[in-house]
Structure formats: C-alpha cells, structure tokens
Amino acid sequence: MTLGTEHWTTKGDVRLFLWRKAVTDATCGTILFVHGSSMASQPTFDLHVPGRPDSSVMDWFATRGFDTWCLDNEGYGRSDKKRAINFDIANGAEDLAAAAEYIFSQTKVRKLLVYGISSGALKAALFAQRHPEHVARLALDAFVWTGEGSPTLAERKKRLPEFIARNRRPIDRAFVQSIFARDHPGTADAATVSAFADAILALDDSVPTGTYVDMCSKLPLVDPARLSVPTIVMRGQWDGIAGVDDLIEFFKRLPNPDKQFCVMPGISHASFQQKNYLMVYHILHAFFSQPEPVYRG
C-alpha cells in the first residue's frame, strides 16, 4: 500500500480537500481522479477491501509510476459544505481548476491525466473544454451527453421537482447498494459493495442535488466540438446512465483524432468497484501510457 498525504487548497474562501498517492520518482504522469454524484473521492479511488487485491486504483497506478491525486468536490467529503447552493457540475469544474493550479504549484507538471466517472466525467469534460492547456489526456467513464436512451436518467427525472426543491439529498446503505442493483445485478461482489458503503457513509449522510438536477434537466453541458484534447469514452456494457447511441454521436464529434471508444464487458456503473475492475485499470493505463503519435499527417 502506498502512503497517502492530505492537501488543502482554496477556491475563493472555499476549502477543498485533496488526497495524493505517489512513489518516489513518479515519472509516468500525474492523474487527477474525479468522483461522481453520490460519494466523495477516497471511497471511490482509494478503497481497501480485504481479500480483494488492488482495490485502490490510486495504489495500483502509483506503483506503476504515476503521481495520483483526487479531490472532494465542494459539498462532499472533507471539502467545505457551508454555502447554500446545490453544488452543480459547473461549480465542480471550477473545483478542478483550483485543484489543478494547486497540483501545478506542488509539482513540475503543467498538464494532467484526468479521469472522471458519471457526473465526475461531466465535470472533467467541462474542465477540459475550458482549460485544454491543463489536460494531457481525458478519460470519460459512465459519461452522458444529451441523456437520450438513459434508463437511469428517465427514472431519476420522476423525482426532479424533489431535487430542485432542496440543495442536498440523504444517502444510506440501501441507496449505495441500489447503485449496483439497478442495471444488472451481479457485476459487483457483496464484500466490495459493503466496504464501499462503509467508506462513503463515514464521510457523508447526504450529498448535493446539483449534479442530479443538471443531468435530468440541463443536458447537454459539454460541446464535443470544443473538446480538443485526446479522449477516451469508457462505457460499461450494462451501464444505465448513458445510451450507446448518445455516446457514439458524442464520440463522432470529437475533433482530435487521438480518441478511443471502449465498451467494457461485464461492467455496469461504478467501474472500479466491479468484479472486472482490473480490466478497467488496464484500459485506463493503456490510454494514459500511450505514446504520442510520431506522424500526424
């Protein structure tokens, strides 16, 4: 297990928590992991489950020479929750800009390898759209563009008035378990889901509604034509958050020819907590370690 260090930065008067894991002489790149709507960063990216080797994706990449970082978006985990707002996706993209500036101040790098999952993928894409100079490569997992063909969002929209009416929504163990049951039961083992729930609920008993409101009523939030960085779109076979046709249309509009579309067999949502998690690591590692093209034409 790689030792982690906590870091803090500010966005105006808002304090943001960052977590870093790296070995000495990490030279393969600097990764910023971006969490989703219903959990903070460490439960997602630095989870430890007895009997499940390499449950921490941060450890796995750190031992392979990457400098790994994650942050709690404002409203989540250890970051500030004091403002009376719903902490939407645009606000989350601002958090990433603040985190990037801090990472740059602590390291010699000027570009990040950015991975985002679910609403975190939307935040990561919006950040890359606004600050392409800060992004070397972009990985969008469980991403959604317009929302067309998403059974998860169709169900979620039924509760949209409830989400609009308040800034936070309660979460509990049953809710965390429902993430793994809604698409295709059996893609994650019970011990991992239990450990994931323990880690999430140790930090939060409620989470912001802003990402849900955005994903149910304000899509699209990202313009693929303005996303100029090398990009991979990662879609779980069983993931209900994004229709394949929606993602293909997004992918077709990405202007950089250095792009990939990957369907991950046996995966639903929450890729790093699935039974096939090592396959997900491999896909991401291959993209983040890909040599730059020698010839571009």
pTM reported for the whole predicted model: 0.98
Is the confidence at residue 76, as pLDDT, over 80?
yes
**What would the mean pLDDT of 152-159 be, rounded to a whole number?**
97
Give the CATH number of domain 4-288. 3.40.50.1820
**What would the mean pLDDT of 16-27 be, rounded to a whole number?**
92
- Mean pLDDT across the chain: 97
DSSP the chain: ---EEEEEEEETTEEEEEEEE--TT--SEEEEEE--TTS-HHHHHS---TT-TT--HHHHHHTTTEEEEEEPPTTSTTS---SSS---HHHHHHHHHHHHHHHHHHSS-S-EEEEEETHHHHHHHHHHHH-GGGEEEEEEES--SS-TT-HHHHHHGGGHHHHHH-SEEE--HHHHHHHHHSS-TTSS-HHHHHHHHHHHHTT-SEEESHHHHHHHHS-----GGG--S-EEEEEETT-SSS-HHHHHHHHHT---S-EEEEEETT--SSGGGSTTHHHHHHHHHHHHTPPPPS---
Q: Check residue 217 and give its pLDDT.
A: 98
Is the confidence at residue 1, as pLDDT, over 80?
no
Higher local confidence (pLDDT), 25 or 49: 49
Is the confidence at residue 88, as pLDDT, over 90?
yes
Domain coordinates in residue numbering, the chain: 4-288
